[in-house]
Amino acid sequence: MGEFRVLEIKQSIFADNDRRAKELREELKEKKVFLLNLMSSPGSGKTTTLQRTIELLKEKLQIGVMEADIDSDVDAATISKMGVKTIQLHTGGMCHLDAGMTAQGLAGIEAGSLDLAVLENVGNLVCPAEFDTGAVKNAMILSVPEGDDKALKYPLMFSICDVVLINKIDVLPYFDFDMETCRKNILMRNPKAKIIPISARIGEGIKEWTKWLEKEVRQWQES
Ligand SMILES: Nc1nc2c(ncn2[C@@H]2O[C@H](COP(=O)(O)OP(=O)(O)O)[C@@H](O)[C@H]2O)c(=O)[nH]1
Ligand SMILES: [Mg+2]
């Protein structure tokens, strides 16, 4: 049998991406642009939460949104109606965004003039957690119908998130979802996680979330 080398491609992909993500964060710092990476399963409420967030913050912050999707522009069409800069990023089948793709999106949206750029990542609890996008903070949404045990099943996603929004609390009476169990499971994965129960539908909790976000943006810009 001939000799051959084994190349650990995955590791080199991650190392390259981590380097690019670090550079991107430094560029964002210089330009005083805060990048939020918003992740969740499909249908947990990323786009709806963004709509509520934009309503409360668009008079205070210049906001731009990057809508990542495998192949559609439904969410970009929804968000662009809110009167903020919007761009659709087609990943061409990829289940996540990496730092290079995010940098292309930021250039496409001319993010230099923004206070807050939001990346709505591809709906998936696995792949997006593995790739640092260069974001200043990672947020994820877990919705009530998905169950209170998700942090046990997707440990990496919960461990890399700074904030977890528990969405769709308006439907709590109809699901076997225990808020305290959910909190306990999240904090077991990530004791530092900020947890905010919300309903993007009726607006509950959105003020607390936007207050947290605005404070983080100001801190990033002033530090
Ligand atoms: N009952 C309820 N439905 C919600 C809430 N937030 C979003 N939805 C619904 O959940 C579905 C998926 O929401 P969407 O924002 O598109 O999720 P995304 O795929 O994560 O962007 C839509 O039918 C929304 O109207 C909520 O707080 N409560
Ligand atoms: Mg969406």
| pTM of the predicted model as reported, rounded to 2 decimal places | 0.95
Of all ligands present, the nearest one to the C-alpha of 77 is 2
Our measurement of the distance from residue 150's CA atom to the centroid of its chain's CA atoms, rounded to an integer in Å, reads 17
Token pair, residue 38, equals 């918003």
Q: Which residue, by CA, sits nearest to atom 23 of ligand 1? A: 43
- Ligand 1 pocket residue status of 123, Cβ below 6 Å: yes
pLDDT of residue 8 exceeding 80: no
Compute the distance between CA of residue 37 and CA of residue 96 in angstroms, rounded to an integer. 11
CA of 169 to the centre of ligand 1 (A): 11
pLDDT at residue 130, rounded to an integer: 94
Compute the distance between CA of residue 5 and CA of residue 89 in angstroms, rounded to an integer. 36
Give the percent of the chain with pLDDT over 90. Answer: 87
pLDDT at residue 1, rounded to an integer: 63
Helix/strand/coil percentages in the chain, nearest 5: 45, 20, 35
- Whole-number average pLDDT of the chain: 95
- Ligand 1 pocket residue status of 41, Cβ below 6 Å: no
Predicted confidence (pLDDT) per residue in 11-24, tens digit: 778 889 999 999 99
pLDDT of residue 6 exceeding 80: no
- Ligand 1 pocket residue status of 121, Cβ below 6 Å: no
pLDDT at residue 36, rounded to an integer: 98
Q: Which residue, by CA, sits nearest to atom 19 of ligand 1? A: 43
Q: Which residue, by CA, sits nearest to atom 15 of ligand 1? A: 45
Q: Give Dmax (Cα) for the chain.
A: 68
- pLDDT average, residue stretch 166-188: 98
Atom of ligand 1 nearest to the CA of 171: 1
Our mutation pick for probing the ligand 1 site, out of 38, 39, 40, 48, counting the most ligand atoms within 8 A of Cβ, is 48
CA of 41 to the centre of ligand 2 (A): 10
- Ligand 1 pocket residue status of 53, Cβ below 6 Å: no
Predicted confidence (pLDDT) per residue in 96-125, tens digit: 999 999 999 999 999 999 999 999 999 999
Compute the distance between CA of residue 148 and CA of residue 137 in angstroms, rounded to an integer. 23
Angle between helices 9-31 and 99-108 in degrees, nearest 10: 30
- pLDDT average, residue stretch 31-60: 98
